[in-house]
């Protein structure tokens, strides 16, 4: 009788752990790959250009003196920092991520260093 009880407790524990594992797995909706963008010496993003697939996510890790502002191509080309309306941005030294669900080209600049060319271009295929 005591052994049977232990078996029951064990079964419940095992089922509980399996159920938790299933939920953790099922809750993950990321289907694409994850890419990393950091900042590097010489006031640069690393990499400065990135090509990814629709559904991929980019993790950004910024050094303390760098931020990230999404802009449009004209602003990017002119080395200006006017933000794109509704665009993505990160403050100085922050971490963040963005999932890219639509194909196109996405333009980002660093506010303090865009004048010296600190820019990031992400192409989503
Ligand atoms: Cu910078």
Q: Both tokens of residue 120?
A: 């990031």
Q: Where are the domains of the chain?
A: 1-30, 34-124
Q: Model-level pTM greater than 0.85?
A: no
Q: Cα separation of 113 and 79, whole Å?
A: 9
Residue 123: name the closest of 111, 110, 109, 106 by CA.
106
| Residue 14 CA, ligand 1 centroid: distance in Å | 51
Give the mean pLDDT of 12-34.
50
Q: Which CATH architecture has domain 34-124?
A: Sandwich (2.60)
Give the mean pLDDT of 7-28.
41
| Residue 101 CA, ligand 1 centroid: distance in Å | 26
Which residues have their alpha-adjacent CB atom under 5 A from ion ligand 1? 66, 110, 113, 118
What residues form DSSP beta bridges with 25?
A: none
**Cβ atoms within 10 Å of 81's Cβ, excluding its own:** 18
pLDDT at 31: 76
Give the mean pLDDT of 14-42.
64
Each residue of 84-110: pLDDT tens digit?
999 999 999 999 999 999 999 999 999
């Amino acid at each position: 009788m005591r052994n049977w009880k232990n078996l029951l407790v064990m079964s419940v524990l095992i089922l509980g752990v399996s159920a938790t594992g299933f939920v953790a797995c099922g809750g993950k909706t990321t289907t694409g790959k994850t890419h990393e963008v950091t900042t590097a010496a010489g006031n640069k993003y690393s990499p400065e250009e990135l090509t990814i697939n629709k559904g991929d996510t980019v993790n950004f890790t910024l050094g303390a003196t760098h931020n990230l502002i999404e802009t449009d191509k004209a602003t990017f080309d002119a080395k200006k920092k006017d933000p794109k309306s509704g665009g993505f941005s990160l403050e100085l030294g922050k971490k963040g991520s963005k999932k890219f669900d639509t194909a196109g080209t996405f333009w980002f600049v660093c506010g303090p260093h865009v004048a010296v060319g600190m820019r990031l271009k992400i192409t989503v295929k």
